Protein backbone atom coordinates (compact mmCIF):
# COMPACT_ATOMS: atom_id res chain seq x y z
CA UNK A 1 0.00 0.00 0.00
CA UNK A 2 1.37 3.34 -1.09
CA UNK A 3 0.44 6.89 -2.09
CA UNK A 4 2.44 8.62 -4.83
CA UNK A 5 1.82 12.35 -5.13
CA UNK A 6 2.65 13.25 -8.74
CA UNK A 7 3.10 16.63 -10.43
CA UNK A 8 1.62 16.62 -13.93
CA UNK A 9 3.37 19.81 -15.06
CA UNK A 10 1.81 23.01 -16.45
CA UNK A 11 -0.40 21.47 -19.16
CA UNK A 12 1.74 20.30 -22.09
CA UNK A 13 1.77 16.48 -21.71
CA UNK A 14 5.43 16.40 -22.77
CA UNK A 15 6.35 18.42 -19.67
CA UNK A 16 6.01 15.56 -17.22
CA UNK A 17 8.92 13.71 -15.64
CA UNK A 18 10.05 10.24 -16.59
CA UNK A 19 9.62 9.13 -12.98
CA UNK A 20 6.00 10.29 -13.05
CA UNK A 21 5.34 8.27 -16.21
CA UNK A 22 6.89 5.15 -14.68
CA UNK A 23 4.77 5.55 -11.56
CA UNK A 24 1.53 6.03 -13.49
CA UNK A 25 2.28 2.78 -15.33
CA UNK A 26 2.32 0.72 -12.13
CA UNK A 27 -0.38 2.43 -10.06
CA UNK A 28 -3.54 0.49 -9.24
CA UNK A 29 -5.67 3.61 -8.78
CA UNK A 30 -5.15 7.11 -10.24
CA UNK A 31 -6.96 10.14 -8.84
CA UNK A 32 -6.54 13.03 -11.26
CA UNK A 33 -7.30 16.75 -11.13
CA UNK A 34 -8.90 19.16 -13.60
CA UNK A 35 -5.53 20.77 -14.39
CA UNK A 36 -3.79 17.48 -15.15
CA UNK A 37 -3.80 16.86 -18.91
CA UNK A 38 -6.03 13.80 -19.52
CA UNK A 39 -3.57 12.63 -22.19
CA UNK A 40 -1.30 11.57 -19.32
CA UNK A 41 -3.77 8.84 -18.40
CA UNK A 42 -2.60 6.94 -21.47
CA UNK A 43 0.46 5.97 -19.42
CA UNK A 44 -1.73 4.12 -16.93
CA UNK A 45 -2.06 0.37 -16.82
CA UNK A 46 -5.17 -1.02 -18.57
CA UNK A 47 -6.18 -2.50 -15.22
CA UNK A 48 -5.86 0.78 -13.32
CA UNK A 49 -8.94 2.46 -11.91
CA UNK A 50 -9.15 6.12 -13.00
CA UNK A 51 -11.03 8.51 -10.72
CA UNK A 52 -11.66 12.15 -11.61
CA UNK A 53 -11.56 14.42 -8.56
CA UNK A 54 -11.13 17.75 -10.30
CA UNK A 55 -11.87 21.04 -8.60
CA UNK A 56 -12.50 24.43 -10.14
CA UNK A 57 -13.37 27.71 -8.46
CA UNK A 58 -17.03 27.51 -7.47
CA UNK A 59 -17.35 24.00 -8.94
CA UNK A 60 -15.90 21.60 -6.38
CA UNK A 61 -17.09 18.29 -7.75
CA UNK A 62 -15.42 16.25 -5.02
CA UNK A 63 -14.74 17.53 -1.51
CA UNK A 64 -11.29 17.26 0.04
CA UNK A 65 -12.69 14.97 2.74
CA UNK A 66 -14.01 12.64 0.06
CA UNK A 67 -10.66 12.65 -1.76
CA UNK A 68 -8.91 11.75 1.49
CA UNK A 69 -11.42 8.96 2.07
CA UNK A 70 -10.91 7.49 -1.41
CA UNK A 71 -7.12 7.55 -1.03
CA UNK A 72 -7.24 5.94 2.41
CA UNK A 73 -9.76 3.28 1.45
CA UNK A 74 -7.68 2.16 -1.53
CA UNK A 75 -4.29 2.28 0.16
CA UNK A 76 -5.54 0.36 3.20
CA UNK A 77 -6.79 -2.34 0.84
CA UNK A 78 -3.19 -2.78 -0.34
CA UNK A 79 -3.34 -0.72 -3.53
CA UNK A 80 -0.80 1.71 -4.95
CA UNK A 81 -2.61 5.04 -5.37
CA UNK A 82 -1.25 7.76 -7.65
CA UNK A 83 -2.55 11.26 -7.01
CA UNK A 84 -2.02 13.25 -10.23
CA UNK A 85 -2.09 17.02 -9.69
CA UNK A 86 -1.46 19.89 -12.09
CA UNK A 87 1.88 21.69 -11.94
CA UNK A 88 3.88 20.72 -8.87
CA UNK A 89 1.78 18.79 -6.34
CA UNK A 90 2.66 20.90 -3.31
CA UNK A 91 2.71 24.45 -4.73
CA UNK A 92 -0.62 25.92 -3.60
CA UNK A 93 -2.14 22.48 -3.73
CA UNK A 94 -3.28 20.31 -0.85
CA UNK A 95 -0.81 17.55 -1.51
CA UNK A 96 0.88 17.64 1.87
CA UNK A 97 -2.50 17.58 3.59
CA UNK A 98 -3.37 14.37 1.74
CA UNK A 99 0.01 12.87 2.57
CA UNK A 100 -0.27 13.77 6.26
CA UNK A 101 -3.75 12.27 6.36
CA UNK A 102 -2.71 8.83 5.12
CA UNK A 103 0.64 8.84 6.95
CA UNK A 104 -1.33 8.86 10.20
CA UNK A 105 -2.49 5.37 9.22
CA UNK A 106 1.03 4.12 8.53
CA UNK A 107 0.75 4.41 4.73
CA UNK A 108 3.96 4.80 2.72
CA UNK A 109 4.05 8.03 0.72
CA UNK A 110 6.27 9.67 -1.89
CA UNK A 111 6.39 12.96 -3.79
CA UNK A 112 7.25 13.13 -7.48
CA UNK A 113 7.78 16.85 -8.23
CA UNK A 114 6.32 18.47 -11.30
CA UNK A 115 7.24 21.51 -13.38
CA UNK A 116 5.38 24.47 -11.92
CA UNK A 117 3.49 26.86 -14.19
CA UNK A 118 4.81 29.68 -12.01
CA UNK A 119 8.21 29.42 -13.69
CA UNK A 120 7.66 27.37 -16.85
CA UNK A 121 4.81 29.39 -18.36
CA UNK A 122 6.53 32.81 -18.12
CA UNK A 123 9.78 31.30 -19.37
CA UNK A 124 8.15 29.78 -22.44
CA UNK A 125 6.59 33.18 -23.22
CA UNK A 126 10.00 34.85 -23.15
CA UNK A 127 9.70 36.18 -19.60
CA UNK A 128 12.53 35.08 -17.30
CA UNK A 129 11.47 35.37 -13.67
CA UNK A 130 15.02 36.48 -12.86
CA UNK A 131 17.55 38.35 -15.01
CA UNK A 132 20.76 40.01 -13.99
CA UNK A 133 20.25 43.77 -13.78
CA UNK A 134 16.44 43.52 -13.98
CA UNK A 135 15.16 41.12 -11.31
CA UNK A 136 17.28 39.51 -8.64
CA UNK A 137 14.46 37.44 -7.18
CA UNK A 138 10.90 36.33 -7.77
CA UNK A 139 7.83 35.76 -5.63
CA UNK A 140 5.12 33.19 -6.23
CA UNK A 141 1.89 34.13 -4.49
CA UNK A 142 -1.60 32.68 -4.44
CA UNK A 143 -4.35 35.03 -5.54
CA UNK A 144 -6.59 34.05 -2.66
CA UNK A 145 -6.52 32.34 0.71
CA UNK A 146 -8.83 29.51 1.77
CA UNK A 147 -11.27 32.23 2.87
CA UNK A 148 -11.18 33.74 -0.64
CA UNK A 149 -9.34 36.82 0.61
CA UNK A 150 -6.14 38.30 -0.79
CA UNK A 151 -3.07 37.06 1.09
CA UNK A 152 -1.35 39.61 3.32
CA UNK A 153 1.90 39.04 1.42
CA UNK A 154 0.37 40.80 -1.60
CA UNK A 155 1.07 44.17 0.04
CA UNK A 156 4.70 43.17 0.63
CA UNK A 157 5.05 41.91 -2.93
CA UNK A 158 3.81 45.23 -4.30
CA UNK A 159 6.66 46.99 -2.52
CA UNK A 160 9.29 44.64 -3.93
CA UNK A 161 11.43 44.98 -7.06
CA UNK A 162 11.15 41.23 -7.63
CA UNK A 163 9.20 39.59 -10.43
CA UNK A 164 5.80 38.72 -8.97
CA UNK A 165 3.98 35.61 -10.21
CA UNK A 166 0.42 35.22 -9.00
CA UNK A 167 -1.48 31.96 -9.34
CA UNK A 168 -5.27 31.75 -9.08
CA UNK A 169 -5.61 35.52 -9.07
CA UNK A 170 -7.81 36.42 -12.06
CA UNK A 171 -10.97 36.77 -9.96
CA UNK A 172 -9.12 39.33 -7.82
CA UNK A 173 -7.42 41.22 -10.65
CA UNK A 174 -8.96 44.61 -9.79
CA UNK A 175 -7.98 44.37 -6.12
CA UNK A 176 -4.48 43.17 -6.93
CA UNK A 177 -3.76 45.98 -9.38
CA UNK A 178 -5.16 48.55 -6.94
CA UNK A 179 -2.58 47.40 -4.39
CA UNK A 180 0.28 47.64 -6.90
CA UNK A 181 -0.89 51.05 -8.09
CA UNK A 182 -1.00 52.31 -4.51
CA UNK A 183 2.67 51.33 -4.23
CA UNK A 184 3.77 53.40 -7.24
CA UNK A 185 3.72 50.53 -9.76
CA UNK A 186 1.11 51.93 -12.19
CA UNK A 187 3.49 51.73 -15.17
CA UNK A 188 4.97 48.34 -14.30
CA UNK A 189 4.48 45.81 -17.13
CA UNK A 190 2.13 42.87 -16.66
CA UNK A 191 1.55 39.68 -18.63
CA UNK A 192 -1.33 37.29 -18.13
CA UNK A 193 -1.19 33.83 -19.65
CA UNK A 194 -4.30 31.67 -19.74
CA UNK A 195 -4.00 27.90 -20.26
CA UNK A 196 -0.23 28.17 -20.60
CA UNK A 197 1.67 25.52 -22.64
CA UNK A 198 -1.57 24.15 -24.14
CA UNK A 199 -3.15 24.66 -27.59
CA UNK A 200 -5.70 26.92 -25.87
CA UNK A 201 -3.02 29.30 -24.59
CA UNK A 202 -3.93 32.98 -24.65
CA UNK A 203 -1.70 35.89 -23.64
CA UNK A 204 -2.42 39.54 -22.95
CA UNK A 205 0.04 42.21 -21.84
CA UNK A 206 -0.19 45.73 -20.50
CA UNK A 207 0.66 47.71 -17.41
CA UNK A 208 -0.67 47.70 -13.87
CA UNK A 209 -2.96 50.67 -14.61
CA UNK A 210 -4.73 49.05 -17.60
CA UNK A 211 -4.40 45.26 -17.35
CA UNK A 212 -7.66 44.70 -15.44
CA UNK A 213 -9.58 46.39 -18.25
CA UNK A 214 -7.79 44.20 -20.80
CA UNK A 215 -8.67 41.06 -18.83
CA UNK A 216 -12.36 41.92 -19.16
CA UNK A 217 -12.09 43.00 -22.80
CA UNK A 218 -10.35 39.74 -23.75
CA UNK A 219 -12.53 37.51 -21.55
CA UNK A 220 -9.54 36.04 -19.71
CA UNK A 221 -10.57 33.26 -17.33
CA UNK A 222 -8.92 30.78 -14.99
CA UNK A 223 -6.63 28.95 -15.15
CA UNK A 224 -4.26 31.82 -15.79
CA UNK A 225 -1.13 33.24 -14.20
CA UNK A 226 -0.31 36.89 -13.65
CA UNK A 227 3.30 38.09 -14.05
CA UNK A 228 4.20 41.57 -12.82
CA UNK A 229 7.68 43.05 -13.19
CA UNK A 230 10.34 44.56 -15.41
CA UNK A 231 11.25 41.27 -17.09
CA UNK A 232 7.83 41.29 -18.77
CA UNK A 233 9.35 43.92 -21.08
CA UNK A 234 11.34 41.07 -22.69
CA UNK A 235 8.19 39.21 -23.71
CA UNK A 236 7.62 39.35 -27.50
CA UNK A 237 3.88 39.83 -26.92
CA UNK A 238 4.59 42.87 -24.74
CA UNK A 239 7.08 44.30 -27.24
CA UNK A 240 4.66 43.89 -30.15
CA UNK A 241 1.80 45.41 -28.15
CA UNK A 242 4.00 48.33 -27.10
CA UNK A 243 5.12 48.99 -30.68
CA UNK A 244 1.57 48.74 -31.99
CA UNK A 245 0.30 51.19 -29.36
CA UNK A 246 3.07 53.70 -30.12
CA UNK A 247 2.40 53.38 -33.85
CA UNK A 248 -1.30 54.10 -33.26
CA UNK A 249 -0.49 57.13 -31.12
CA UNK A 250 1.87 58.50 -33.78
CA UNK A 251 -0.78 58.03 -36.49
CA UNK A 252 -3.32 59.90 -34.37
CA UNK A 253 -0.87 62.76 -33.84
CA UNK A 254 -0.18 63.00 -37.55
CA UNK A 255 -3.88 62.97 -38.34
CA UNK A 256 -4.54 65.83 -35.91
CA UNK A 257 -1.80 67.99 -37.41
CA UNK A 258 -2.74 67.15 -40.96
Exactly one of 131, 168, 214, 237 is catalytic; which is it? 168
Residue environment code for 13-49, b if the CB has 16+ CB neighbours within 10 A, otherwise e: bebbbeebeebbeebbbbbbbebbbeebbebbeeebe
How many Å apart are CA 26 and CA 43, to the nearest integer? Answer: 9
Long-range contacts at 48-51 (CB < 8 A, ≥ 24 apart) = none
Exactly one of 12, 28, 33, 88 is catalytic; which is it? 33
Confirm whether 168 is a catalytic residue: yes
What does DSSP say about strands 189-194 and 55-56: parallel, antiparallel, or unpaired?
A: unpaired
CB-CB contact of 241 with 233 (8 Å): no
Confirm whether 46 is a catalytic residue: no
How many Å apart are CA 110 and CA 82, to the nearest integer? Answer: 10
Query: Which residues are the active-site residues?
Result: 33, 55, 168
Amino acid sequence: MKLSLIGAGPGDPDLITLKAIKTLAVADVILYDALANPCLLSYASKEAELIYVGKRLGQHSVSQDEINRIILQNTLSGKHVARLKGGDPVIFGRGFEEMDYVRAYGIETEIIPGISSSVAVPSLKGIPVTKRGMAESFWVITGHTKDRELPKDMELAAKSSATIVILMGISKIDEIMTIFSANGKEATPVAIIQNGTTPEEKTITGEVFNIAEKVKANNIKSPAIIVIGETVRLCPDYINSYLATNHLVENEKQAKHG
